[in-house]
Each structure stands twice: as C-alpha cells, then as structure tokens.
Amino acid sequence: MDGAGPVRTFWSVVLPLLRPVTFYLVVLTVTGSFQVFGSIYIMTQGGPVGTTSTVVYQIFQNAFSYSDFGYSSAMSVVLFVLILAFSVVGARLVNGRQS
C-alpha cells in the first residue's frame, strides 16, 4: 500500500473487509423492517386510511379481519420468496467478491 492515500486505502482495504458484516446488517435490517407489526397493531391499526399499514399487517388483516386465509397465505409466501431472493443474491455478491 505504498503511496496509497487514505481514500484509496479505504476503498481497496477497509471496504472489502467490511463487506460481509455490511451484508449481514443489511439483511437483518430489511427482514426486520418487514416484521414491523406490534407497534402498528397496538398504536394505529393501520392508521388513517392505511397510511401506516405494512405488508405484514396486511397479511394479518386479510387473515383474521376478513377471513381470507388463502390470500394472506399467498402474500406470506411471496414475502418469504422476496426475502429469500434478496438474501441469496446478497450472499452471492459478497462471496463472489471475497474469492
């Protein structure tokens, strides 16, 4: 790293070493954001005209308020596939750059 400045050192050394940790945190944050249910259910029940409604709250509402279990099951499967695809693509990107 002779002659490399601080910016080049960051981009060539520090950032590649932080990539797995960064991926882990991004996956946890994205999956955590999909799991926001308790505070919405307790405080707003979807809010005025559905402004604070999320996908998980919609799944709950379709299943237990409207008794539409098939639709809520389909929404759950699609949500699972989206989170799984995001995780797999991210893992391949991280593992591909480590080699």
The C-alpha atoms of residue 45 and residue 40 are separated, in whole angstroms, by 6
Q: Delimit the domains of the chain by residue range.
A: 19-98
What pLDDT is recorded for position 12?
Answer: 87
The C-alpha atoms of residue 74 and residue 85 are separated, in whole angstroms, by 16
The C-alpha atoms of residue 72 and residue 80 are separated, in whole angstroms, by 12
* Whole-prediction pTM: 0.71
pLDDT tens figures, 2-47: 778 889 889 888 888 888 888 888 888 888 887 788 888 889 988 8
What pLDDT is recorded for position 5?
Answer: 87
The C-alpha atoms of residue 43 and residue 49 are separated, in whole angstroms, by 14
